[in-house]
Chain A
């Protein structure tokens, strides 16, 4: 089996081959061309002149999904595309069609037997009548693989797995790997795309590294180290040891001890007044979860203290009363009420200042305060009666900020504060973040945008697999190194060196 590629815009002259029975890993940073390559193989993308994909020496016509399938390519995408409410049998049948008997009745008995034997071949012993939503993540991935490979004996040749473990708890990864090995043992080639490098070494025979749309090389994993792989992905070896810890001033405003959720595992850190902390990490590292845990939006274990007193878990209300504020990553779901007005959204966090003696809300006072915030944050249009649905994304985000900043919180948690926002609004929001810190708040940002860390944060905390693995000050921060740390290329810092964890 071999593939070679000519030039496309996102991909230039990449060629490599996958042997039958081999697990071949494909790695590269975001934007390195991995997804383009997969789409090309799937026939979703048109390739340019001179590109060629061969399976068993036969040329595969490009740009036709049906041709890709006929040639033996099978795909399991990151989101798995399973229907959670349906059973395993039903999910398998959706891809392939059901065998039916008299009157169009589905032959459930034989369907179940086939599904069970298919899952067993992949190494899963499970009740195929259970809804997919009740299964463990690894089992769900197994169902997706089973669906992709239903006819593997007939003509499946290459199984492409795109980030199959991104939603997988680490304990279940081994289960999935066992079934991938079974697939490879059947003589299929497996193309395994992941950015969790430790997995590459656990499952893959060879690894192809992409960078900026070009192939850096293909290597035997046995002769590779994680550090070298990362430097190949990033382009330069920038391993530096961190500067010695410098004690930060005063008592911390926020202390987290043993903070644990479904991804985050035992994180300790402190935040001081006047500083901006940044949390970085890959998807699934705990970065998306940590601020929600601190705020009590998700159930947590461990201790969170604000100004020395414990904050009870699971209660955003209690967190707010201690001076915390959360600007969530998904503002439509968690941050605002689309059909309510700017005024109503802004003041929802605290209506007490506007209470009259009868218990009504004083409209004029409310409007005055909201208008002043709209001016301060340059929200357009400057009209408190507009509903949030009538505002652009950047202006919506400013309203979310206003609703929290008006409380003058001591601890401001910002989850992806500038995601999907235009450049102007982004600069303004970064300015607000700095200003809030200068005025004495402790600000904590979680972001997937490394430049955001560089632009606003005093300290960057790196999360990997739910644990805090490194801390970098702004002065010693480089974006390349952040990439290394996130992927696990640089040696993790010993626990004691993570500042603040011993306070």
Chain B
């Protein structure tokens, strides 16, 4: 009610100041009302998704095959898990730019242990996850105790991790020799659905529960909203920030383990490429649903973009190499610009 009041006074004010713009402003008002009614603002990514499906379905009938769905939903899981990892500290206003590097570390350790030891793959994966969690502790120490801005701290940590994986892999491609059981874990389909989507759903459910339903999640968002007020309300803000970075490293390492199941190989160039799509999904997702970084918005945003990318790839075969980054870059900026305008 009061929001509507604000809008109308705002309009009157502007009309008074710029008498020539009256018609345009009226049109703006109508558009805003229509947007509010259709839920387009809070669900724009869903509409976008539907739009892409329709558009590319018409342009290229092959787009609507189950191959497309399998491909997008199968290949997207690693990025989605990384996006969820990025989401946790972001809720507390902390940037973890090392998510992709941590994933790369976990993958490298998994493949390395597979090649050089006789440990079962699952044990190797556990060691990879434990090492990544240790990295999260270090990032937390740098941010909380050394008071380094999280953006800088995790950027630095990411570079150090890159150095570590280059050293560990001898800067060569490592092709793992995983058991077929292990790769089945990543490549099987359950009733036509890639099994990794079940893992993704499970991780997303746990994160949704923690972020939206528990005090821990409340503390994360409160810290992101106003850290000082949150500290003065008795919340141990330092522990919240530190914990979020550990959790983020943990989830990132799961992405690395998933990758080892699906592809079973490591190259040091794998990590960095995953950062942008993951971060873009989180920011685009934050403009969806509850208007703050959230789990389902992130997933919807990612898949909407992924369908767009896939559609472009199918319908314009000659330009595939540069379409993906162009498309992702433009849609991130446009989506966030629209969200800022609304505020």
Q: How far is the CA of A142 from the CA of B54 in the complex (A)?
A: 69
Residue A360, interface by CB 8 Å: yes
Q: How far is the CA of A23 from the CA of B209 in the complex (A)?
A: 68
Please determine whether B215 and A316 come into contact, CB atoms closer than 8 angstroms: no
Residue A334, interface by CB 8 Å: yes
Give the residue of B214, B225, B230 whose beta carbon is less than 8 angstroms from that of A339: B225
User: Which of B35-43, B128-136, B231-239, B248-256 is the interface stretch?
Assistant: B231-239
Please determine whether A316 and B229 come into contact, CB atoms closer than 8 angstroms: no
Interface size on A, as a range, is 20 to 34
Give the residue of B209, B215, B231 whose beta carbon is less than 8 angstroms from that of A351: B215
List residues of chain B with CB within 8 A of the CB of A113. Answer: none
List residues of chain A with CB within 8 A of the CB of B228. Answer: 333-334
Please determine whether B225 and A338 come into contact, CB atoms closer than 8 angstroms: yes
Give the residue of A317, A328, A355, A386 whose beta carbon is less than 8 angstroms from that of B234: A317
- Closest residue of chain A to B231 (Cβ to Cβ) is A316
Least Cβ distance of B23 to chain A in Å? 30
Known contacts A295-B232, A317-B234, A348-B218: does B213 contact A337 (CB below 8 Å)? no
Give the residue of A337, A338, A359 whose beta carbon is less than 8 angstroms from that of B214: A359
Residue B56, interface by CB 8 Å: no
Please determine whether A360 and B222 come into contact, CB atoms closer than 8 angstroms: no
Please determine whether A328 and B209 come into contact, CB atoms closer than 8 angstroms: no
Q: How far is the CA of A334 from the CA of B228 in the complex (A)?
A: 6
Please determine whether A381 and B2 come into contact, CB atoms closer than 8 angstroms: yes
Least Cβ distance of B234 to chain A in Å? 4
Residue B221, interface by CB 8 Å: yes
Q: How far is the CA of A146 from the CA of B219 in the complex (A)?
A: 48
Q: How far is the CA of A338 from the CA of B276 in the complex (A)?
A: 30
Please determine whether A344 and B218 come into contact, CB atoms closer than 8 angstroms: yes
Please determine whether B232 and A316 come into contact, CB atoms closer than 8 angstroms: yes
Q: How far is the CA of A336 from the CA of B221 in the complex (A)?
A: 13
- Count B interface residues, CB 8 Å: 23
Least Cβ distance of A379 to chain B in Å? 13
Residue B269, interface by CB 8 Å: no
Give the residue of B3, B214, B219, B226 whose beta carbon is less than 8 angstroms from that of A336: B226
Query: Would you list which residues of chain A between 322 and 336 have a CB under 8 Å from chain B?
Result: 326, 328, 333-336
Give the residue of A321, A355, A403 whose beta carbon is less than 8 angstroms from that of B215: A355
- Closest residue of chain A to B223 (Cβ to Cβ) is A337
Known contacts A360-B209, A381-B2: does B218 contact A349 (CB below 8 Å)? no
List residues of chain A with CB within 8 A of the CB of B236. Answer: 317
Please determine whether B230 and A348 come into contact, CB atoms closer than 8 angstroms: yes
List residues of chain B with CB within 8 A of the CB of A328. Answer: 232
Q: How far is the CA of A328 from the CA of B226 in the complex (A)?
A: 14
Residue A405, interface by CB 8 Å: no
Please determine whether A361 and B225 come into contact, CB atoms closer than 8 angstroms: no
Query: Would you list which residues of chain B between 252 and 296 have a CB under 8 Å from chain A?
Result: 292
Known contacts A328-B232, A336-B226, A344-B222: does B2 contact A390 (CB below 8 Å)? yes
Among A317, A337, A347, A381, the one with the most B-chain Cβ atoms within 10 Å of its Cβ is A337
Residue A67, interface by CB 8 Å: no
Residue A1, interface by CB 8 Å: no
Please determine whether B3 and A348 come into contact, CB atoms closer than 8 angstroms: no
- In the complex, per-residue mask of A296-328: 1 if CB is within 8 Å of any chain B CB, else 0: 010000000000000000001100110000101
Q: How far is the CA of A359 from the CA of B230 in the complex (A)?
A: 20
List residues of chain A with CB within 8 A of the CB of B221. Answer: 340, 344
List residues of chain A with CB within 8 A of the CB of B214. Answer: 359-361
Q: How far is the CA of A344 from the CA of B220 in the complex (A)?
A: 12
Least Cβ distance of A404 to chain B in Å? 9
Please determine whether A340 and B3 come into contact, CB atoms closer than 8 angstroms: no
Please determine whether B235 and A348 come into contact, CB atoms closer than 8 angstroms: yes
Give the residue of B2, B218, B225, B229 whose beta carbon is less than 8 angstroms from that of A334: B229
List residues of chain B with CB within 8 A of the CB of A350. Answer: 234
Q: How far is the CA of A335 from the CA of B228 in the complex (A)?
A: 8
Please determine whether B213 and A340 come into contact, CB atoms closer than 8 angstroms: no
Q: How far is the CA of A257 from the CA of B230 in the complex (A)?
A: 28
- Closest residue of chain A to B217 (Cβ to Cβ) is A361
Query: Would you list which residues of chain B between 185 and 225 have a CB under 8 Å from chain A?
Result: 209, 213-215, 218-219, 221-222, 225
Among B215, B221, B231, the one with the most A-chain Cβ atoms within 10 Å of its Cβ is B215
Please determine whether B213 and A335 come into contact, CB atoms closer than 8 angstroms: no
Known contacts A317-B236, A349-B233: does B226 contact A338 (CB below 8 Å)? yes
Please determine whether A340 and B232 come into contact, CB atoms closer than 8 angstroms: no
Known contacts A333-B229, A361-B214, A390-B2: does B222 contact A340 (CB below 8 Å)? yes
Please determine whether A360 and B213 come into contact, CB atoms closer than 8 angstroms: yes
Least Cβ distance of A325 to chain B in Å? 9
List residues of chain A with CB within 8 A of the CB of B235. Answer: 317, 348
Q: How far is the CA of A295 from the CA of B235 in the complex (A)?
A: 14
List residues of chain A with CB within 8 A of the CB of B209. Answer: 360
- Closest residue of chain A to B2 (Cβ to Cβ) is A390
Q: How far is the CA of A321 from the CA of B233 in the complex (A)?
A: 11
Known contacts A340-B221, A361-B213: does B226 contact A403 (CB below 8 Å)? no
Q: Give me 19 other A-B pairs in contact (C-beta within 8 A), A337-B230, A361-B214 excluded.
A: A295-B232, A320-B233, A334-B228, A334-B229, A335-B232, A338-B226, A339-B292, A340-B221, A344-B218, A344-B222, A348-B218, A348-B219, A348-B222, A349-B233, A349-B234, A351-B215, A359-B215, A360-B213, A390-B3
> Can you list 21 pairs linking A and B with CB atoms under 8 Å apart?
A316-B231, A316-B233, A317-B234, A317-B236, A328-B232, A333-B229, A335-B229, A340-B221, A340-B222, A344-B218, A344-B221, A349-B234, A351-B215, A355-B215, A359-B214, A360-B209, A361-B213, A361-B214, A361-B218, A381-B1, A390-B2
List the 5 closest A-B pairs by CB distance, nearest first. A337-B225, A320-B234, A360-B213, A351-B215, A337-B226
Which B residues fall within an 8 A CB radius of A?
Answer: 1-3, 209, 213-215, 218-219, 221-222, 225-226, 228-236, 292
